[in-house]
Amino acid sequence: RVGAGGAGGEEEWSTKLATQWSGLSVAGERHACAAYKLPHASQGVRAFVPEVTGGRGLGRAHHLAIYGCDAVYGFNEGDVDAAGVGQVPVPRKTSCVSRCVDMVSLYAWQPPAGPLEFPDDTASMVGDAVGSPYVILEAHLIVEGSDEDPAAWAADPLRAAITLHFSRTIPTRVASAIVIANSSFALAPQREKEVVLAECCMPNTHAMELHAMRVHAHAWGRRVALTVDGSDVYDGDPRQPQAYRSPAGTAVKVSPFRKLGARCEYDTRGSTTPIHVGMSATNEMCCAYPMLLSHVPIRGICNGKWGLNKLDPQLPTGKSRRPVRGASEHGAQLLDTIRWDGMGQASAVVAAYRGDRNKLLIFHRLDRMMAAKDHAEPLGGATLSVWDESSGRVVETFGAGIFPLPHGLAVDTLSGDVWTTDVDAQAAVRLSHGGNTKEVVLGNWGRRATGSAGARGPGVALRDLEDTSLCRPTSAVVAADGRVYVSDGYCAARVVVYAPVDAERSDYRRERVIDLPGAIVPHALVLDECKHKLYVAGREDKQIHVVDLQSAEAKPLRIDTGVYGRVFGLTMDEYGQMFALTLRGETSQEARGRPSSPSVSIVWFSRATAMRIGGVWDLGSEMDAPHDLAVTIDVATGDRLAYVAETEAGGTGAIRKYRLLREDRPEEVRTLGAGGASKGGQDASAWRGVRVREPASARVVRSDGGTDEWRPRKEPAYYHG
CATH no. for residue 183?
A: 2.60.120.230
Q: Please tell me whether residues 183 and 135 are part of one structural domain.
A: no
**Exposed, middle or buried by CB within 10 Å (0-12, 13-18, 19+), for 446?**
middle
The three-state secondary structure class of 710 is strand
- Which pLDDT value is given to residue 329? 65
Q: What is the DSSP letter of 392?
A: T
Q: Please tell me whether residues 118 and 212 are part of one structural domain.
A: no
Q: Please tell me whether residues 156 and 78 are part of one structural domain.
A: yes
**Of 170, 205, 228, which residue constitutes the final position of a domain?**
170
- Which pLDDT value is given to residue 417? 95
What type of residue sits at position 142?
Answer: I
Q: What is the DSSP letter of 248?
A: P
Answer yes or no: is 294 within a domain. Answer: yes
CATH number for position 445:
2.120.10.30
Residue 297: half-sphere exposure toward Cβ, Cα within 13 Å: 32
Q: Please tell me whether residues 18 and 137 are part of one structural domain.
A: yes
pLDDT tens per residue across span 307-321: 787 667 777 876 544
Average of pLDDT values for 571-586?
A: 93
Q: How far is CA 675 from the centre of its chain?
A: 22
Q: Please tell me whether residues 166 and 186 are part of one structural domain.
A: no
Q: Please tell me whether residues 410 and 425 are part of one structural domain.
A: yes
Answer yes or no: is 76 within a domain. Answer: yes
Average of pLDDT values for 223-252?
A: 93
Average of pLDDT values for 163-177?
A: 96
Average of pLDDT values for 419-432?
A: 97
Contact 443, 466 (CB under 8 A): no
In degrees and rounded to multiples of 5, residue 129 shows phi and psi of: -60, -25
**Of 122, 139, 170, which residue constitutes the final position of a domain?**
170
Alpha carbon separation from 157 to 33, 57, 627 (Å, rounded): 15, 10, 66
State the DSSP string of 607-624: GGGTTEEEEEEEEES--S
Answer yes or no: is 717 within a domain. Answer: no
- Which pLDDT value is given to residue 358? 96
Average of pLDDT values for 430-444?
A: 93
Q: Please tell me whether residues 393 and 458 are part of one structural domain.
A: yes
For residue 40, what are the contacts with CB-CB under 8 A and spacing of at least 6?
A: 6, 127, 168
Contact 298, 200 (CB under 8 A): no
Q: Please tell me whether residues 436 and 545 are part of one structural domain.
A: yes
Given a cut of 70, is residue 718 above it in pLDDT? no
Q: What is the DSSP letter of 480?
A: T
Domain span at residue 637 reads 329-710
Q: What is the DSSP letter of 188?
A: P
Contact 603, 582 (CB under 8 A): yes
pLDDT tens per residue across span 652-694: 999 999 999 887 653 333 333 333 333 333 332 222 333 333 3
Alpha carbon distance 21, 59 (integer Å): 9
Contact 490, 458 (CB under 8 A): yes
Alpha carbon distance 101, 701 (integer Å): 39
Q: How many domains does the chain have?
A: 3
- Which pLDDT value is given to residue 163? 98
Alpha carbon distance 66, 622 (integer Å): 48
The three-state secondary structure class of 667 is helix
- Strand pairing class (640-647; 332-338): unpaired
CATH number for position 159:
2.60.120.310
Q: Please tell me whether residues 180 and 157 are part of one structural domain.
A: no
Answer yes or no: is 6 within a domain. Answer: no
Q: Please tell me whether residues 260 and 374 are part of one structural domain.
A: no
Residue 452: half-sphere exposure toward Cβ, Cα within 13 Å: 7
Contact 296, 633 (CB under 8 A): yes
Answer yes or no: is 673 within a domain. Answer: yes
pLDDT tens per residue across span 361-400: 999 999 999 998 999 999 999 999 999 999 999 999 999 9
Q: Please tell me whether residues 137 and 265 are part of one structural domain.
A: no
Answer yes or no: is 715 within a domain. Answer: no
- Work out the percent of the chain whose per-residue pLDDT is above 90: 64
**Of 283, 311, 339, which residue constitutes the final position of a domain?**
311
Q: Is the peptide bond before 238 cis (omega within 30 degrees of 0)?
A: no
Alpha carbon separation from 411 to 160, 192, 646 (Å, rounded): 47, 47, 20
For residue 32, what are the contacts with CB-CB under 8 A and spacing of at least 6?
A: 19, 20, 21, 22, 87, 90, 96, 139, 141, 160
Q: Please tell me whether residues 354 and 214 are part of one structural domain.
A: no
Answer yes or no: is 319 within a domain. Answer: no
Answer yes or no: is 1 within a domain. Answer: no
For residue 716, what are the contacts with CB-CB under 8 A and spacing of at least 6?
A: 324, 325, 326, 328
The pTM is what? 0.88
Contact 659, 685 (CB under 8 A): no
* Nearest CA among 574, 571, 499 for reference residue 536: 571
Alpha carbon distance 18, 164 (integer Å): 11
pLDDT tens per residue across span 501-516: 998 899 999 999 999 9
- Which pLDDT value is given to residue 594? 57
